[in-house]
Structure 1
């Protein structure tokens, strides 16, 4: 086995090894715009900014040094305007609860708006940290460029985004269609849109202000923006988890290759251990930036699963309502499980090298391998909800047990609601 260098176009050098008669590349040239995590997220972040999230300047640039956050920019102004609208709607729902009281059904609207307001503010805070975070991510990619670019990562991220947002759009269309048909059925002298806004969607607002079409349009726009942030919260965690997990996968693949080689130096094992350490440090940096977002995601999902389960005990009026309930409840379950699995993917991949390292032959074993094993054994590399919990596979079972327990308590304290007839507000619609 021997190593060579050959000149490539644009002055790049590619280091490759001849092993068993085959040419194995150790250093692949990486295009800074497309073969980078920030490049793979480009169109996703552009979509998010259209809905007032993560107002960072320069996300289409190939160099992370060009990423900036400025308070005096139209992106930030749009995001703050979004936060202001979310705060207004949240305040109206909270005031309505204090005036008219609260039950499990009215609390869902309050919880939805509180969560979306919190998430929008948290993404604004993340935007201030995003340039620095992506710079550290780019440094990690630069140090690991000899591993190559994770196959189809950009396609995987875009397909995941397309699937999640498409399902969310279908859900949103179903619920709005249901409410529109209700408005069409019960309207009197008002137009359908006026009845839809003043009676069906926001009956607690218009007793205090006169209706105007421009007010209805603004409220609908705000509802769309908040619904997007409600879905994007979970999606963003899955995207970040994918970007980190595939990098840990590359280290595992590299370890399998080294294990098969008959002669390896201690410097080689030190390099891969240092790569793992840099990736672990990046994961902890990402966790510090995303902890509150993760906590908001799991809190929101847990609450709405409980609310939907309770709502399932009540009779439903028509077919469309049943379709919406089963579609929405299924989507909520899939979202919660997906966030847990994608988040746990990081932890699983960070522990995978242990099996390989423990099976290395004694004549190859050295002090760097021992250090590597100890680091993996005693270090927890995972995303967390502000360290209240770590996202591992066992979290799904813990949540399932908690849901059963809390649902029984919820039924016990709200058994009188189950005896009432189904009302127009009986269906949980998150808006």
Structure 2
């Protein structure tokens, strides 16, 4: 085939595109999500007022954490003024863990936002632009991401509002709502004689932001996983389309064999670039994944323990809160694991088309791509300690059941009673 014929074939082949325009809605949506996260105190915006707000949130969380740790030390030392009811060591420890999770979430999300703005977003756009093959557009990605972000935020607010209602109850006079909620939800910090509205009102705001930060880390994992899965799905659709075209032109002229090899090389390079993108994001997201899985595991165990030992024996509103909170925690864990495992699942789907590829059309680039997809394990992980695939759900479920049995077996309600809003300490 002459050089002129080769160039003409490249122009006619719609699967090849030397410089593809960016038509991935993911970058626009995730940028808006990071922008709105500044209201939770996430560092990232260059606006001065945003920096002041983020510093104020972080400072407030640190102050509450220091107070909670001090109360735990006093409780363990046996010098706490009140060790009854919800002011037990377990309750104080749960409050300390909750706010430590919030601080870590704020720091890790801010770090991710910074890396995303200066590096990862540019790499994502570069991979999209230089992929070398014309992959189809995911027209529903923007709507799906917006729906997931909105739904998770709404559920977080609803669960938090229900926790406030369960703490206050229906019999509380309007003038005492704030006092009762703060003393019940933050009894691990101070008691009735320490109450002050000047301290209580900012505390309610900070606790709400802390709850949203905890939920936001799961939301980020789900949204980024959706973007990576969408890219793999589009690549797989492009590969499937090319395989179908090969079947339709089985008796094509041998002169185009070089162009077919060239097309397969571009396809293989697209999968290489996609794998590189997943690994780069995995490095930036690993800390958040570890924090998300560990804290969700802890609070699922705690909420199940509270629901089994106390939730059903108390009033209806408290029992309802325990069930709703536990259900929301389980849904979040399922959403994170299933969304992240989709990256691993879709990274292997192209093998189904390669295994059924026509034998006489087989070439060295197809063999290389098949070998690459078979041996290269692509998945999001918790800094390499574990991978988010579907099998981890069974492992987490088994561990939760084991720890629940241990907690129930060694429970001593008389000396260590708990009445705690685990997700809104």
Tell me the TM-score normalized by structure 1: 0.83
What is the CA-CA distance between 1:249 and the residue it aligns to? 0.6
Matched, 1:108 2:94: yes
Match of residue 66 from structure 1: none
Residue segments in structure 1 that go unaligned for 5+ positions in a row: 6-14, 19-23, 58-71
Residue segments in structure 2 that go unaligned for 5+ positions in a row: 77-87, 250-256
Q: Please state whether the residue corresponding to 2:331 is helix, strand or coil.
A: helix
Mapping of 1:7-406 within 5 angstroms?
Answer: 30=21, 35-57=24-46, 73-101=48-76, 103-131=89-117, 132-144=119-131, 146-181=134-169, 184=172, 191-197=176-182, 199-206=183-190, 211-262=195-246, 265-315=260-310, 316-406=313-403
1:246-303: CA deviation from partner (whole Å, max 9, x where unpaired): 1001111111111112356101011011011111101000000010000000001111
Query: Is the contact made by 1:344 and 1:392 (CA closer than 8 Å) also made in structure 2?
Result: yes
What is the CA-CA distance between 1:3 and the residue it aligns to? 11
Query: Structure 1 321/191 Cα, relative in aligned 2: closer, same or farther at 3 Å?
Result: closer
Query: Structure 1 219/333 Cα, relative in aligned 2: closer, same or farther at 3 Å?
Result: same
Larger RCO, structures 1/2 (Cα 8 Å, 6+ apart): 2
1:175-228: CA deviation from partner (whole Å, max 9, x where unpaired): 11222337827x9xx84434443x223335446996543322211111111111
1:138-177: CA deviation from partner (whole Å, max 9, x where unpaired): 1112124721431211111000011111111111111112
Q: Please state whether the residue corresponding to 1:149 is helix, strand or coil.
A: coil
Query: Is the contact made by 1:36 and 1:141 (CA closer than 8 Å) also made in structure 2?
Result: no
Tell me the TM-score normalized by structure 2: 0.84
Number of residue pairs matched by the alignment: 394
Structure with the larger helix share? 2
Query: Structure 1 54/252 Cα, relative in aligned 2: closer, same or farther at 3 Å?
Result: farther
CA RMSD of aligned residues (A): 3.0
Report the Cα distance in structure 2 between the residues aligned to 1:299 and 1:52, rounded to whole angstroms: 22
Query: Structure 1 3/54 Cα, relative in aligned 2: closer, same or farther at 3 Å?
Result: farther
What is the CA-CA distance between 1:429 and the residue it aligns to? 4.0
